[in-house]
Structure 1
């Protein structure tokens, strides 16, 4: 079962993912996951195509939305197919290398999502608090550099954390009580010293799950103070309306995680809630931005009207 790479390090041939075993009404749950997967891929692909093909959307905010849609597609493809395969093919075993790859891509795209939300919060902060300097601060070049740094730094940090897993020896258990190859769950399995890995885990948690919501809250605190200085209610509502999409996306991303920590009473409930908290935001994000962004809705209407125009013309003839 185990393959020894050297005298001290023992790597298993595979891991056994058991987090979704015994899920109540599992058939309906996996059908729901498939629907989430389909809507996520189609919805985010539409958002990417609309932003890429229309110059009117080549602006700082939509560069952020484009980046978020890319991360959503990546995270969805890294997570849900593995979960569906476990159920439909009764294949709970995952090879050691595939497990590390699964861990890398899920963690990578989630961390990209979190800091994309931070950048979008900063975009709204500058737009409302520093409107006269918005074009000087938030321009396409700046956003391109910022997202290049985010993708590069996330690649470095997630690669570091994943590669450090190879120094751990799994000589006791290969049972992963999660819905994917979760970094934290795997850290409970080694039989040798994992203090460095735990330190990296704390660092990643602080940097990607604690710092982002803190920064977003500070951004909206500044926005709230700026809104209080606007004398007319109409002006306040117009400024706040530009933040609605971002607030809904932030809520769909962070609130489920908070609810899991507070309310999920059992391991099974935490696993189901946890899997949904990661799977649902990529499905909701394109819906939120399409429904709350007038430019995107208008472009979709134009595309649909252009496609239906020849049909109406033929019918009238």
Structure 2
């Protein structure tokens, strides 16, 4: 036990990113801009793919799923932080905190699974191109995405129930901008060994297994591409995977740094920076990375913009 005097905590205080008023104003503008860019960028990806029938293939179905998850991912943390700044409040209810934690890490799991599924899709497309249509059927794609949702939901239900059983003392200040699991475990007056053990035993493999799947897929992809006799063909194959690999490195780099180190080695500042990277920056960068390196997406976005201008010109005339 961490303290003799326990009290039933009904709410937490999210201290945010800074306590300096001038910095808070700057951070508010910065995070509002990043959130709007995230929502707009990912919605454009969704709209462009849905309106272009040529992109109704597994690769872009998974990209649509990733864009939807990224919008939800950012929406679980940033709007609450912006609302607290506007209202001059730092509070979040106990149940609201657990709910936020549930959705943040459920969408993080979904990002994790979808990146692995997209790596497998690229592996089949490059290493077994003649069997791609037979292997990546609509049923399999739907099963992979649905299964990811089910596993992510059950995973976070377990950790949320484990968190709900803990007791919290008078100290209810979370030095973070959302209800992070490590920050909550530090505040608890209860024995948190079961929670920490389950993170390593159950949540660890859920993060590591897809990462290993991605590594194996890209090892096979690299070997297959290097056997292509044409330099132009090798470059084209690598370019189709480059955007996905960039997202993978950014996402997993921060996750491994943040959640696979002992709690005693964590500092509030480094935790916040890493959390901002995977929960705010990565969802914002995903649509730009994929659209800038993908000619099909750029073509679909160009058609979408041209159609919008055409409709506007017709309305004005």
**TM-score range, shorter-chain basis?**
0.7 to 0.9
Partners of 2:156 and 2:38 lie apart in 1 by 24
Is the CA contact (8 Å cut-off) linking 2:119 and 2:217 kept in structure 1? yes
* CA-CA distance at 1:73 after TM superposition: 0.9
Partners of 2:88 and 2:81 lie apart in 1 by 10
Encode CA deviations 1:261-298: one digit per residue, 9 max, x unaligned: 9xx99632442343233201111111122222222222
Which segment drifts farther, 101-110 or 267-276? Answer: 267-276
Partner of 2:167: 169
Which segment drifts farther, 70-79 or 306-315? Answer: 306-315
Task: Find the partner of 1:20 among 5, 8, 17.
Answer: 17
Q: Do the aligned partners of residues 269 and 314 (structure 1) sit closer, same or farther apart at CA in structure 2, a change above 3 Å counting?
A: closer
Query: Counterpart of 1:289 in 2: which secondary structure?
Result: helix
Q: Do the aligned partners of residues 178 and 309 (structure 1) sit closer, same or farther apart at CA in structure 2, a change above 3 Å counting?
A: closer
Q: How does 1:55-74 map to 2 (within 5 A)?
A: 55-74=53-72
Partner of 1:138: 136
Which segment drifts farther, 20-29 or 187-196? Answer: 20-29
Q: Do the aligned partners of residues 35 and 115 (structure 1) sit closer, same or farther apart at CA in structure 2, a change above 3 Å counting?
A: same
Encode CA deviations 1:84-119: one digit per residue, 9 max, x unaligned: 233333311211011011101111111101110010
Is the CA contact (8 Å cut-off) linking 2:49 and 2:300 kept in structure 1? no
Is the CA contact (8 Å cut-off) linking 1:60 and 1:140 kept in structure 2? yes
Q: How does 1:73-112 map to 2 (within 5 A)?
A: 73-112=71-110
Q: How does 1:188-267 map to 2 (within 5 A)?
A: 188-257=186-255, 267=268
Is the CA contact (8 Å cut-off) linking 2:9 and 2:170 kept in structure 1? no
Partner of 1:297: 298
Answering whether residue 155 of structure 2 is matched by residue 157 of structure 1, we say yes
Which segment drifts farther, 206-215 or 238-247? Answer: 206-215
Task: Find the partner of 2:42 among 27, 41, 44.
Answer: 44
Question: Any gaps of 5 or more consecutive residues in structure 1?
Answer: 1-8
Instruction: Give the alignment's TM-score, normalised by structure 1.
Output: 0.87
Is the CA contact (8 Å cut-off) linking 1:179 and 1:275 kept in structure 2? no
* CA-CA distance at 1:152 after TM superposition: 0.8
CA RMSD of aligned residues (A): 2.8
Partner of 1:6: none
Is the CA contact (8 Å cut-off) linking 1:12 and 1:174 kept in structure 2? yes
Is the CA contact (8 Å cut-off) linking 1:59 and 1:139 kept in structure 2? no
Query: Counterpart of 1:193 in 2: which secondary structure?
Result: coil
* CA-CA distance at 1:260 after TM superposition: 6.9
Task: Find the partner of 2:31 among 20, 33, 40.
Answer: 33
Partners of 1:314 and 1:178 lie apart in 2 by 48
Query: Counterpart of 1:279 in 2: which secondary structure?
Result: helix
Partners of 2:135 and 2:258 lie apart in 1 by 37
* CA-CA distance at 1:223 after TM superposition: 1.0
Partners of 1:299 and 1:35 lie apart in 2 by 25
Partners of 2:285 and 2:243 lie apart in 1 by 11
Partners of 1:188 and 1:257 lie apart in 2 by 18
Answering whether residue 275 of structure 2 is matched by residue 277 of structure 1, we say no
Query: Counterpart of 1:22 in 2: which secondary structure?
Result: coil
Query: Counterpart of 1:94 in 2: which secondary structure?
Result: strand
Q: Do the aligned partners of residues 251 and 154 (structure 1) sit closer, same or farther apart at CA in structure 2, a change above 3 Å counting?
A: same
Partner of 2:3: none
